[in-house]
Amino acid sequence: METMLREAKEKYNEIPSDLKEQIVLEHTPLIRYIVNRIAVRLPSHIDLDDLHNTGVIGLMDAIEKYDPEKNCKFKTYAEFRIKGAILDQLRSLDWVPRSVRQKSRKLERAYGEVEQRLGRSATEDEVADSLGLEIDKFHTLLNQVRGISLVNLEEIRGTNSDGDRSGTFADIIEDVHSENPFASLKLLETKHVISDTIGTLPEKERLVVSLYYYEDLNMKEIGNILGITESRVCQIHTKAVMRLRSKLKGMVDR
């Protein structure tokens, strides 16, 4: 299909209608795939059929503007145009004008820069001065952006070193199946406490604990290594455990 498209572009600089129809049919799964990927980040009231139709328009635009001399695969170019058309459609649904959002970001940056420089909360006069605005103009700016009461998820994803949007919405939404960070921290702290407590044991008790729990040796094997009886190893192990339990209980109680 791409070969036929290239030939039509190179020879006639025009795409026959039947070829356009074939290309649209062939790339319908691609449009559906892009729509479904974007849909998982959208509220339920967004009509996916509308997005699919917008994707078709983006594909038609890709067919018209595709340049074989750019040495780019048509599928790659089409995917870019389809996604761009859908995102443009979604942006047009935003009830807050882009100019207002830009002013809001400008104001947020000003507050952040001033407060970082001063090391404290910034006053209105200080922020207005950093923006080169008189205080009445600054208040006008505040009135313009105060209607933005919802968080734009597209903005809080952050940017990479090139200034492009990076990450996905999954990066800012809790993964209920992931390990609880507080539980992980508690477990890590407990391990550190146990390790430090073991380090305070007498040398022989510390050695028995190490051989038994870390080297996975039994009491008889430990006795052979230390040159003592198995019952003596059991006694040392019991004392070590009692000592550890006592110290750990004291730490927990504190």
Q: Quote the crossing angle between the two packed helices 230-253 and 181-199, to the nearest 10°.
A: 130
What's the pLDDT score for residue 2?
64
CA distance 149 to 163: 25
Q: Is the pTM of this model over 0.75?
A: no
- Per cent of the chain over pLDDT 90 is 6
| Residue 181: predicted pLDDT | 77
Of 65, 68, 61, the closest CA to residue 31 belongs to 61
For the stretch 71-111, pLDDT in tens is 778 888 889 899 989 888 887 765 556 677 778 788 888 88
HSE, side-chain direction, 13 A CA sphere, residue 43: 7
Contact 126, 114 (CB under 8 A): yes
Q: Domains of the chain, with CATH numbers? A: 2-92 (1.10.1740.10), 98-172 (no CATH), 181-253 (1.20.140.160)
Question: For residue 174, is it left (φ>0), alpha (ψ between -120 and 50) or beta?
Answer: beta
Contact between 11 and 50 (Cβ < 8 Å)? no
Task: Output the pLDDT for position 195.
Answer: 82
Separation of alpha carbons 227 and 220, rounded Å: 10
pLDDT tens digits along 10-58: 666 677 777 788 888 888 999 999 998 888 777 666 778 888 999 999 9
Write down the pLDDT at residue 149.
47
